[in-house]
Amino acid sequence: MELDIDPPKANEVLIKMSAVGVCHSDLHLRTGDTQHQLPVVPGHEGCGYVADLGQNVSRVKKGDKIVLNWAPNCGICFYCRKERPGLCEAFTGNIWKGNLMDGTSRLSINSSDVFHYCALSCLSEYAVVPEESCIKIPDKIPDEVGALIGCAVTTGVGSVLNTAQVKKGDSVAVFGAGGVGLSTIMGAAYAGAKKIISIDIVSEKSSMAKLLGATDFIISNDDSINRIYSLTENRGVDFAFEAVGLTQLQEMAMEVVRPGGTLVLSGISPMGSKTNLSGAMLTRQEKTVKGSYYGTSDANRDFIKYAHLYLGGKLPIDKMISKLYSLEQVNIAYEDMMSGQSGRGIIRF
């Protein structure tokens, strides 16, 4: 479908997209698990090049290679000052209304507004985005790798390094071996975790999980909890990460955390869903539950950090990439994702 796109206004940038990751969060718009103004152009995990600038833009220039940050921040509000830029008060309201920062859209069809997703809408050849969403990365980073840094890597690796702060020798269980789960495994391996257990319903994901650092792979079933305990001296893991957003997996992950350990929820659950976590277990066993939104990241810092770790061979991000698709194949890409295909698909322009 062709849409009209207005030129960038003040403090906005026009990006010519080059690569966009196939992420489950975009599919949530279609299923209604994420409630959003419609019609909307999805896409939030992207890499591209600066094609044009609105007035007063100072962060980037034409031709720069950009990874898009779907949680831009002002740097001065309450949450930014508390080092939680992903929760920025200045941007959240307009973003979830489907607009840019002046409260309007740059997208339309037959003169009727079409809404933006995460102020990006990068499943499109061009995207007008806030200047604050643009983070310049080294030209030698492959575009596909840049796209994955924009969401899956920052969410997964960040949940390990920023939210949980996993240390060398810790034990980790990761529920889900999609893009975020695989990135979590990568982050745990980089952090020096001794035992990294990957749990998924698709056996074919075992090889990629182990390629990225998992020491063990378990098929998710009624015996998963017992198997995780058998791998951890019947104690449970120091950290469990639920990277899917399913309530039953969140509850299972809570069961395998050792007393005094931590459960990290990084998967996006359907809006309105509820998870039954035992208050008695939390109190009696002193377990901790943490939410991790975008890996508790500071994108301005972490995008560059992960890019350099990739270049240094410490984060094998490219090994996550399973298949490249054209934009015309976008529905096939999401069908492959839902069928359990291992790794992360990428839309190439």
Q: Where are the domains of the chain?
A: 4-149+297-348, 156-294
Residues 156-294: name the CATH superfamily: NAD(P)-binding Rossmann-like Domain (3.40.50.720)
Residues 6+ apart with CB under 8 A from 267: 176, 180, 242, 243, 244, 245, 246, 249, 250
Q: Which tokens go with 12?
A: 């906005």
44 is catalytic: yes
Does 151 participate in catalysis according to the annotation? yes
User: In the sheet where 237-242 sits, what is the strand order?
Assistant: 216-219, 195-200, 171-175, 237-242, 257-265, 288-291
Q: Read off the pLDDT band of 92 (50, 70, 90).
A: confident
In three-state form (DSSP H/G/I as H, E/B as E, the rest C), the secondary structure along 102-160 is CCCCCEEECCEEEEECCCCCCCCCEEEEEHHHEEECCCCCCHHHHHHHHHHHHHHHHHH
Question: CB-based contacts of 94: which residues, under 8 Å, 6+ apart?
Answer: 100, 101, 103, 119
DSSP single-letter state for residue 59: S
**1 vs 76 pLDDT, higher one:** 76
Catalytic choice (24, 36, 44, 116): 44
Query: What's the pLDDT tens digit per position in 201-232?
Result: 999 999 999 999 999 999 999 999 999 999 99
- Comparing C-alpha atoms, which of 262, 43, 31 is closest to residue 151? 43
| Catalytic residue of the set 47, 88, 134, 151 | 151
Which superfamily does 4-149+297-348 belong to? Medium-chain alcohol dehydrogenases, catalytic domain (3.90.180.10)
Residue 341's pLDDT is 79
> Mean pLDDT over all residues of the chain?
93
Catalytic residue list contains 36: no
Q: Which of these is catalytic: 24, 28, 36, 116?
A: 28
Q: Which residue has the higher pLDDT, 84 or 270?
A: 84
Task: Give me the catalytic one of 18, 23, 133, 198.
Answer: 23
> For residue 27, what pLDDT band results from cuts at 50, 70 and 90?
confident
pLDDT band at 342 (very low <50, low <70, confident <90, very high): confident
Please give the model's pTM, rounded to 2 decimal places: 0.94
Kindly tell me if the per-residue pLDDT of 21 is higher than 90: yes
Is there a common fold for 4-149+297-348 and 156-294?
Answer: no
Which of 25, 159, 183, 206 is the catalytic position? Answer: 25
What pLDDT sits at residue 93? 79
Q: Is the peptide bond before 8 cis (omega within 30 degrees of 0)?
A: no
- Cα of first residue to Cα of last residue in the chain, in angstroms, is 15
3-state DSSP call for residue 261? strand
Residue 212's identity, in one-letter code, is: L
Q: Is 24 a catalytic residue?
A: no
pLDDT at 270 over 90: no
